[in-house]
Amino acid sequence: MQQLAGSRAVLVLVAVTFLLLLGASISEPIRPLFIVGVGASTLELGLVMALHSLVSVATRIPASALSGRLGRRRLVVFSIALSVATTALFAFVYDPVVFYPLVSLSALSWSVFSPISLVVVSDHSGPTSRGAVMGIYFSAIGAAMFFGPLLCSLLTLFIGFRELFIVSALFPLVALVLFVLKTSRSEMDVGAPSSNLGEERGGGTWESLMRILRIRNVAAMCYAQAAFALSYGVFSTLFALYAEGTLGIAAPVIALLFSFRALTNVLTRLPAGRMSDRIGRRRPVILSHAIIVVVFAVLPFVKDPALIALLVAVYGVGWGMRVAPDSALVSESVSSEDRPLALALLMTMFDVGFTLGSLFAGATTAFLSIPIMFLLCAPILLSGLISLILLTTETLTR
């Protein structure tokens, strides 16, 4: 944590991000089972799973631009409070139709919070330490993704799915109290561009997006991000159903498998960020995406639960390795005033890919088996890897 020692706001933000994601991660392994259990069909499951990212696509970039007018701190308070409410309300859903507005509001919460928190972290780091600082920030996210499923595995031994959502809501509630008590507006707005910066640069948000996408590094990273997220959408929508229905794995063990993935994920984030500070961003990015290609190419042919656990753990390694170098490479490929929008764009491409993956998963299970759908993700991931190899550079090629 030495790289963050000079900024109380960033230290608090790392803790708040951990608590917020922990609340969401506790229910992640069982959420598809809960949605189907309430009465949703597989097609409806795909729609509900895709809705979170679809709403984020529509709101993340406008929310990032709005933070310059309304203030970062005010929007963060709003987003955390919304997360508390939506997480708790899941416990009271008895009609699948209710999932649509509830998931939409939950998505709005994260699409407001995530770009602001990432930009604050980026603004408080320099080029020589940005990989390590982002590695610390993303390690907090990875830690939440580890402890959440682990808590899910333990809690589902004693309480039902509905009670689990109530417990989950306590963590964003603690995050809200911590953020309100320990941050100020001036700390959050350090490095924030002025509200008329878009006009000074010669255009509004749309013109800025076009300028950013003409940068080769950003274009390649966005495509690879979308390809990764599509495969993640397929995995998140179908893996729990596949593990329970085809492999006969119980819900607590499924949650434990998610913990395996998250453990290797969090353990590799900080080392990968530091490695990218030493050897450059490009090589860790390419290696991480290559690992994920291999996982999806092999996963459909593995039936043994122990080997499934191993593959899921390797999946976590590839995922964890890519996070900090990906964000650092994009951050360093744009000007400082374009950085918030560029990072919001990178996150939005994840939402686009996840939406497509979830919709694809929900719509095709009637005529394609789940292993075949996992296998179809491999060439899509491979195309993203090829774009990274051919287009990315260590320099700011535009």
Treating both helix axes as pointing N-terminal to C-terminal, what angle do 99-123 and 339-364 enclose, rounded to 10 degrees? Answer: 150
Question: For residues 268 and 150, what is the distance between their CA atoms, to the nearest angstrom?
Answer: 18
pLDDT value of residue 397: 43
Question: Which position has the token pair 């390690």?
Answer: 139
Which tokens in the block code for residue 143?
């830690």
- Per-residue confidence (pLDDT) for residue 7, from 0 to 100: 65
By the 10 Å C-beta count (0-12 exposed, 13-18 middle, 19+ buried), 332 is classed as middle
For residues 187-205, one letter each, b for 16 or more C-beta atoms within 10 angstroms of the residue's C-beta and e for the rest, the string is: bbbeebbeeeebeeeeeee
Q: State the pTM of this model.
A: 0.72
CATH class entry, domain 2-186+204-391: mainly alpha
* Domain-wise residue ranges, the chain: 2-186+204-391
Structure tokens at 220: 């390649």
Q: Which of 114, 120, 142, 136 lies closest to 277, judged by CA?
A: 136
pLDDT, block means (10 residues), the chain with 398 residues: 56 89 89 90 85 80 70 87 94 92 90 82 65 75 85 90 94 94 71 47 64 85 92 90 86 85 84 84 90 94 90 91 83 78 83 87 83 94 92 63
Predicted local confidence at residue 236, as pLDDT: 87
Alpha carbon distance 39, 318 (integer Å):
35
Pair 29, 240: CB distance under 8 Å: yes
CA distance 219 to 398: 10
The whole-number pLDDT of residue 395 equals 58
Q: Which pLDDT score, from 0 to 100, does residue 279 have?
A: 84
The pLDDT assigned to 245 comes to 85
